[in-house]
């Protein structure tokens, strides 16, 4: 049986949760040799290294150490270094038969471009998702990656519809489910044992978790202050836990908004401003929250799988099933809409949702079966 060597590329925090179950699934096949390549797009240990420990992922076989920069700089460095790795092959002289990329970060698109320019076929996991908002860098990354990939693994039916409409042959499209949920379900028992809410003195099921990092929410003082003011208000009734992304913390300091986190004017401090957390610590928090407030795509999916209300601080989403079937509601950057939805949650009037089909913890196994057959 001919051995197939697959380059499995990760670069940023969301990639790790998606690639971990895929690596486990691929190792079940003796004819597949996965090689893990980390671009180093996220270089902060709390946004990268800790995830390898939490997810029980092997250390990367190759680390490109590209670091930060503008989108163009980062993409260019990844392209250059990925090309070198793909041309060189493995240390024992094997060439790569396929490159597997996940998600929609710069590493995803750049690795796909480097591979296809060298004639190496590309598989894209989480293909077909579209927000139809090209002001989002991730949307460009998704479109470009899907355009060059010949194997498209899709997490929800809207992705299939989008790819068919864009002209992709149906035999290249595979609706397999959501690998993010594979990781969530596998690690949920361990996460609950971590006991993050208890460590922080939070009542289980009676607090909010917040994440904000998108430029549209954090790069403008008026927008960010409006959102933080609502959080400060609701914190008088419901404790708010806010693990703050480095980018967001910098903006809060630059705009002089730190007083809103300190609870001034609310009578008492009820906002827990934390550094970024590891996956298990964070899942321990989100899985036992009353409500999640976020602009993260992955958290929309996880909240839906957990059955926890999710107020999505975006005007659109590339994951519409989390709104139509799940627990997410789009509130945009509108503090009034956010406040109204929080009132609905606190009053027990918020909608219930269901977990979509194929979000069952076995998506990576289905991917492995398809890759093993090619």
Q: Give the number of residues written for the chain.
A: 374
8 Å CB contact between 65 and 90: no
> Which segments of the chain are extended strands (E)?
4-10, 32-38, 62-63, 98-102, 122-125, 151-154, 173-175, 208-211, 240-243, 271-274, 291-294, 310-312, 328-330
Phi, psi of 170 (to 5 degrees): -60, -30
From 42, 213, 259, 336, the catalytic residue: 213
Structure tokens, 5: 């060597």
User: What distance in Å separates the CA atoms of residue 183 and residue 25, rounded to the nearest whole number?
Assistant: 12
> Would you call 213 a catalytic residue per the annotation?
yes
Considering Cα of 12, then 212, then 344, then 321, what sign does the dihedral take? negative
Residues 6+ apart with CB under 8 A from 231: 208, 210, 240, 242, 260, 271, 293
User: What distance in Å separates the CA atoms of residue 168 and residue 310, rounded to the nearest whole number?
Assistant: 32
| Residue indicated by tokens 């036992």 | 288
DSSP codes, 55-112: TTPPPPSEE-------HHHHHHHHHHHHHHHHHH--TTSPPPSEEEEESSSHHHHHHH
Q: Catalytic residues, which ones? A: 213
């Amino acid at each position: 049986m001919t051995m197939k060597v697959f380059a499995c590329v990760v670069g940023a925090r969301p990639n790790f949760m998606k690639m971990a179950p895929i690596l486990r699934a691929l190792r079940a096949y003796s004819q597949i040799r996965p090689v893990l390549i980390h671009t180093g797009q996220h270089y902060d240990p709390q946004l990268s290294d800790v995830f390898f420990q939490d997810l029980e992922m092997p250390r990367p076989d190759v680390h490109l150490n590209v670091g930060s920069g503008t989108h163009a700089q980062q993409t260019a460095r990844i392209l250059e270094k990925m090309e070198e790795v793909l041309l060189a092959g493995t240390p024992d002289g094997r060439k790569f038969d396929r490159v597997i990329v996940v998600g929609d970060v710069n590493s995803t698109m750049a690795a796909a471009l480097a591979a296809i320019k060298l004639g190496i076929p590309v598989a894209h996991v989480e293909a077909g998702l579209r927000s139809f908002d090209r002001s989002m860098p991730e949307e460009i990354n998704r479109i470009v990656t899907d355009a060059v990939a010949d194997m498209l693994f899709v997490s929800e039916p809207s992705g299939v519809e989008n790819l068919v409409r864009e002209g992709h042959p149906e035999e290249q499209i595979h609706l397999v489910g959501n690998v993010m949920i594979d990781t969530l379900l596998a690690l949920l028992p361990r996460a609950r044992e971590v006991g993050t809410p208890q460590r922080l003195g939070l009542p289980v099921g009676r607090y909010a978790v917040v994440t904000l990092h998108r430029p549209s929410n954090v790069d403008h003082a008026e927008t960010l202050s409006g959102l933080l003011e609502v959080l400060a208000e609701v914190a008088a009734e419901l404790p708010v836990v806010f693990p703050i992304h480095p980018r967001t913390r910098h903006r809060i300091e630059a705009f002089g908004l730190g007083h809103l986190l300190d609870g001034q004017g609310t009578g008492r401090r009820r906002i827990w401003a934390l550094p970024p957390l590891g996956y298990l610590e964070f899942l321990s928090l989100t899985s036992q929250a009353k409500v999640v407030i976020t602009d993260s795509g992955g958290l929309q999916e996880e909240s839906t799988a957990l059955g926890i209300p999710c107020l999505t601080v975006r005007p659109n989403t590339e994951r519409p099933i989390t709104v139509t079937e799940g627990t997410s509601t789009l509130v945009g950057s509108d503090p009034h809409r956010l406040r109204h939805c929080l009132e609905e949650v606190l009053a027990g009037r918020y909608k219930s949702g269901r977990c979509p089909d194929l979000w069952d913890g076995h998506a990576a196994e289905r991917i492995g079966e398809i890759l093993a057959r090619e």
